[in-house]
Structure formats: C-alpha cells, structure tokens
C-alpha cells in the first residue's frame, strides 16, 4: 500500500475502508544508546515529550483513530509508533503483509491483551476470555467457551433459539408496518431493554478508548480525564442491574431443583463441572459474550442495508438469489445459508468498508521481537487496517466472489479485513457470528421490499465523526413481499 497516495482530505473516508492494526507496547525501559546499535529501532512516529509522550497531541486530536490515520499519511509509512505516557507505545499497522506477520507468523508472541481500567472492570478482574491476558484463568474460560458453549454440536442444539429470534425480527418489522402504538405492542424493546442495549454499546465505545488513565495508571481514582472512568462504571452498573438479577434467579432455580433441563448458554455455564464456575465468573462471562455478539452483526447489517438500498441493482440481485434458493413459500433457514453467496458477499463488503471499530482488539507481545526490521518490545499489542482494494470506497460485493471458490465466508484468509480477528486471539464464535449476521440480512431482504422515504434521493452514507457508525440511524420504508401467513404473529 502506498500511503503517499492518500489524500489528506480523504482521511475521514479512508478510515472506514481499512481496519488498523494497533499494538500497545507496555514496557518500563527501552534504551537506544550506541552500545545497543545492533538492535533495531522502534518504527517511525512523532517525537514524544519527556514523561508525557504524545498524550497532549492525542487529546487535542480526538477521535484518536483519525489522528493516527493522518500521522500515517504524514510519515508515509505502513507502520507507525506513538508514545503515550512515560512507558507506553502504540504501534499502528496498515498493511496486510505486516498483519500476517503479527497475527499469524508471530501469533504466539502477540497473544496477550493490554490491562486497562475498562477491561478490568468489564471482565470483573479478568475472570473472562476475550479481554483477559494469558494465564490459568484465561485458559480455563477459553476452553469452556470453545468446547461447551461454541462447539458446533452446542450451536446446533441452540438453533431453535436462533430461529425464534429470527422470527422476532420478522414479526417486529411486520408489526412496525402495521403501525402499532408502542414498541412493546409490536415486539420491540421496552424502556429497560433500551437502556440495557444502550449501555452495552457505551461499554464497547469506551473499552479501548485511548483513555489517559491507562497510560498514567497511578491517576486512577484521582483524576477522571474526559470522564471515561465515570462513563464506563455507570454503563457496567446499568447492564448488570438488569442481567445479574436474572442470572441469580436462574442459579437459584437450579439449586432448588425447579429447573432440571438445560435450555440455553446460561444453563450450560451454571451446570459446568470440572471446573465448577463461580457466580462471579458466570456473570462476567455472560456480559463479555453479550459484548462480543452485539457489535459486528448489528453494524454490518445496518450498513449493508444502507448500501444496498442506495444501489438498487445490488439489492435486486440479493433478492433474486433468495427467490431462487429459497422461494416465496417458506422463510429462509440456516440450512439455506451455504447457498446464499451473494448475501454473504454483501455482508463481507460491509465488514470491509464499514467495520464496527477502526481498530481490531489490541494484542500484547509476550517477549521482545522484531517485525519488518523494527524492534517490538515485550508488552506490545495489535489492531489492523488494509487498504489494498481496487476502488476501495465503492460498495462492491462482487470483489468477494471467487469463481474457483464455491463458498463465500465472512472472514478473510489474506487478512485484508478482520471481521472476526484470527489466531489465538481470534473470535472463537466465528461460526455463530457469521450465522447470526447472515440470517439477519437474509430475513430482512427476503421478507420485505425496501426504499427510502419520499422526497429523499437516497440513504445518507455519512459516518459519525467519533466512530464508524452511520451518523443518522437508517430510516427506510418496508413493505411485505411474502404471503401473509409466513409472517409470525407477535
């Protein structure tokens, strides 16, 4: 990738086409004296000030991801180093070849996570899988997650639950068309559910928000820069206010012998033996699973719908695929998904062009290493961003269709996009996430026709300044296109 070809005026737009590799480097001391001249230097980047590094520049250039893109353009480099605080460096990588070096060739080295206030609070002291650094607790919870929660046999067992949720989505949209008066009447969320979901998205926004206290950890509890501590604590309290009571109630039902048959993931965790999970571990892992499941599917489907509605030929082709593979006399099912390659290509293009977050979850190095001729000290971490596509700002699902490959998958072997990450820290729920996301888009495209409101020429595809979501929620007109009896009644 030639960074010099980027236009500085295009930075806000380019940010949505690539996923940056971020490496948080936590180390106490790094000497670059003549005596260590044989040791490679750190990657290029802005000159840091003593003790505070580039923290002031970061605060003056929020959001941080757009500032990082500008710096990579300024230094004309696919790998950038920024010092934040006295001993933390952030390394940004925007080249898929380097991504493979970090995430595949040296996967074992970059298999840790940065320890921040937000991740500590969300994981309840690193009791979980995704956010926790390597160790016995991480190994235990990851093993349980892979073998007892996300195993293909478990996913098949829980398919009726997913079918039920797909029917809820179809019913909700259909009832919205009927113009029922209140959200709860048409199957939509009530006030408590709305607050719960809103708080989950707040946690996601501030999980790795380049908070000053993470670079000056001794300030925790003393100074709350930008209010990050209060925001994340409040959001966690609101989420757990609703879910912890339900979890406690379920645990008690099992203790009292009232509930005897497993019906969902919560039951699986409660009844897990060897090892037995504590209530604290169960609650923390449920919260983390919720965070992992809500972001990618909702963001990808909303952006895919927005792009497809703006390109009627693409939407028409997706509808034609569903009509050919499924027909009009039944609803799309999970067993149909392998044949829906164009639907999956539309989603993969949404992941590429509109990732939920500008950075992949950071990785931290377990030991000193060298990448692309640069020294990467013990304690480094990762996230990524390839801009290696022809006409990258155009929504083009065809770029993911390979005549020699019968199946389209939402992940990318060449790491040109990181929809579900990869390696030891890759998303263990890739199959589940892909299934849920594809079903969401398929049921919406099959069940309804979609168009913009009158007097509007198209969907405004402007992203938020502070993140990569649509600046305004997608508002479009839906009309049923299937026989009436196929729409579930609420």
pLDDT at 415: 55
Select the more confidently predicted residue: 383 or 179.
179
The model's pLDDT over 332-342, given as tens digits with 9 standing for 90+, comes to 999 999 999 99
Average pLDDT over residues 128-138: 93
What phi and psi values does residue 243 have, to the nearest 5 degrees? -90, -30
If one counts the domains in the chain, the total is: 1
Token pair listed for 352: 């590429």
pLDDT category at 450 given cuts 50, 70, 90 is very high
Q: Is 100 annotated as a binding residue?
A: no
Select the more confidently predicted residue: 475 or 359.
475
Q: Give strand pairing partners of 90.
A: 24, 82
Token pair listed for 447: 């069940």
pLDDT at 99: 75
* Contacts for 378 with CB less than 8 Å, ≥ 6 apart: 27, 365, 366, 367, 368
Instruction: Quote the CA–CA distance of 163 and 166 in Å, as a whole number.
Output: 5
pTM: 0.84
Residue 420 near residue 427 (C-beta atoms within 8 A): yes
Per-residue CA distances from 281 to 111, 112, 301 (Å) = 22, 20, 31
pLDDT reading at 279 higher than 80: yes
pLDDT at 107: 78
pLDDT at 245: 95
Q: Classify residue 50 by burial, with Cβ atoms within 10 Å: 0-12, 13-18, 19+.
A: exposed
- Percent of residues, the chain, with pLDDT higher than 70: 82
* DSSP state for residue 187 in the 8-state scheme: T
The model's pLDDT over 92-104, given as tens digits with 9 standing for 90+, comes to 887 777 877 877 7
pLDDT at 15: 34
pLDDT category at 255 given cuts 50, 70, 90 is very high
Q: What angle do CA 351, 354, 355 make, to 5 degrees?
A: 60
Residue 78 near residue 373 (C-beta atoms within 8 A): no
Token pair listed for 145: 């997650």
pLDDT at 9: 33
- Percent of residues, the chain, with pLDDT higher than 90: 54
Tally of CB atoms within 10 A around 455: 5
The model's pLDDT over 158-208, given as tens digits with 9 standing for 90+, comes to 999 999 999 999 999 999 888 755 555 566 778 888 999 999 999 999 998
pLDDT reading at 295 higher than 80: no
* Helix/strand number for the chain, H first, E second: 16, 7
The residue range of the domain holding 284 is 3-486
pLDDT at 381: 40
Specify the CATH number for the domain of residue 68: 1.10.630.10
The model's pLDDT over 395-445, given as tens digits with 9 standing for 90+, comes to 889 988 875 456 787 766 655 555 555 566 666 668 888 999 999 999 999
What does pLDDT average to over the chain?
Answer: 84
163-199 per-residue burial string, b: 16 or more CB within 10 A, e: under 16: eeebbebbbbbbbeeeeeeebeebbbeeeeeeebbeb
pLDDT at 355: 85
pLDDT reading at 210 higher than 70: yes
**Closest to 289 in 3D by CA, of 203, 412, 359, 415:** 203
pLDDT reading at 271 higher than 60: yes
Average pLDDT over residues 466-478: 91
pLDDT at 186: 60
Residue 125 near residue 116 (C-beta atoms within 8 A): no
pLDDT reading at 111 higher than 90: no
Q: Which of 169-183, 264-278, 324-338 has the lowest mean pLDDT?
A: 169-183
The per-residue DSSP string of 322-359 comes to HHHHT-SSS---GGGGGG-HHHHHHHHHHHHHS-SSSB
Question: Does the bond joining 63 to the residue before it have cis omega, within 30 degrees of 0?
Answer: yes
Q: What angle separates helix 191-206 from helix 228-255, to the nearest 10 degrees?
A: 120
pLDDT at 488: 84
Its sign, for the CA torsion 152, 156, 162, 166, is positive
* DSSP state for residue 43 in the 8-state scheme: P
pLDDT at 119: 94
**Closest to 265 in 3D by CA, of 241, 244, 290, 248:** 290
Residue 64 near residue 210 (C-beta atoms within 8 A): yes
Instruction: Quote the CA–CA distance of 63 and 67 in Å, as a whole number.
Output: 7
Q: What angle do CA 139, 297, 304 make, to 5 degrees?
A: 145
pLDDT at 28: 38
Instruction: Quote the CA–CA distance of 212 and 56 in Å, as a whole number.
Output: 10
Helix (H) or strand (E) holding 24: strand 21-26
Residue 21 near residue 98 (C-beta atoms within 8 A): yes
């Amino acid at each position: 990738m030639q960074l010099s070809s980027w236009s500085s005026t295009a930075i806000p737009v380019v940010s949505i086409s690539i996923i940056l590799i971020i490496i948080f480097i936590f180390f106490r001391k790094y000497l670059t004296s003549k005596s260590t001249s044989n040791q490679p230097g750190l990657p290029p980047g802005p000159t840091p000030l003593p003790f505070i590094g580039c923290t002031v520049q970061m605060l003056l250039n929020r959001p941080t991801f757009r500032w990082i893109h500008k710096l990579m353009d300024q230094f004309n480099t696919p790998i950038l180093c920024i010092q934040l605080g006295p001993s933390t460096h952030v390394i940004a990588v925007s080249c898929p070849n380097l991504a493979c070096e970090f995430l595949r060739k040296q996967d074992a080295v970059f298999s840790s996570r940065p320890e921040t206030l937000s991740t500590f609070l969300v994981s309840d002291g690193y009791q979980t899988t995704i956010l926790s650094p390597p160790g016995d607790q991480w190994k235990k919870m990851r093993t349980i997650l892979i073998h007892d929660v996300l195993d293909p046999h478990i996913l098949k067992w829980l398919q009726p639950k997913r079918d039920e949720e797909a029917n809820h989505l179809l019913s909700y949209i259909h009832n919205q068309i009927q113009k029922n008066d209140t959200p709860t009447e048409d199957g939509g969320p009530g006030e408590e559910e709305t607050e719960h979901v809103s708080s989950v998205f707040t946690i996601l926004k501030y999980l790795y928000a380049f908070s000053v206290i993470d670079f000056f950890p001794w300030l925790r509890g003393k100074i709350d820069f930008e209010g990050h501590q209060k925001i994340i604590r409040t959001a966690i309290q609101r989420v757990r206010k609703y879910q912890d009571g339900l979890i406690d109630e379920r645990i008690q039902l099992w203790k009292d012998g009232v509930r005897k048959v497993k019906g969902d993931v919560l039951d699986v965790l409660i009844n897990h033996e060897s090892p037995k999970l504590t209530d604290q571990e169960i609650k923390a892992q449920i919260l983390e699973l919720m965070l992992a499941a809500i972001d990618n599917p909702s963001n990808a489907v909303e952006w895919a719908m927005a792009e497809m509605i703006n390109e009627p030929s693409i939407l028409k082709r997706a509808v034609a695929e569903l009509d050919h593979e499924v027909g009009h006399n039944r609803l799309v099912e999970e067993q149909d998904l392998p044949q829906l390659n164009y639907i999956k290509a539309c989603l993969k293009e949404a992941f590429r062009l509109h990732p939920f977050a500008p950075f992949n979850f950071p990785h931290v190095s377990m030991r000193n290493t060298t990448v692309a001729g640069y020294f990467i000290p013990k304690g480094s971490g990762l996230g990524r961003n390839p801009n290696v596509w022809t006409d990258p700002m155009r929504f083009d699902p065809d770029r993911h269709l390979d005549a020699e490959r019968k199946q389209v998958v939402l992940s990318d072997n060449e790491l040109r996009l990181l929809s579900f990450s990869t390696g030891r820290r890759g998303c263990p729920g890739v199959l589940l996430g892909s299934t849920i996301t594809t079903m969401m888009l398929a049921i919406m495209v099959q069940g309804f026709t979609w168009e913009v409101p009158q007097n509007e020429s198209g969907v405004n595809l402007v992203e938020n300044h502070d993140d990569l979501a649509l600046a305004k929620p997608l508002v479009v007109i839906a009309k049923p296109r299937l026989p009436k009896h196929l729409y579930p009644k609420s």
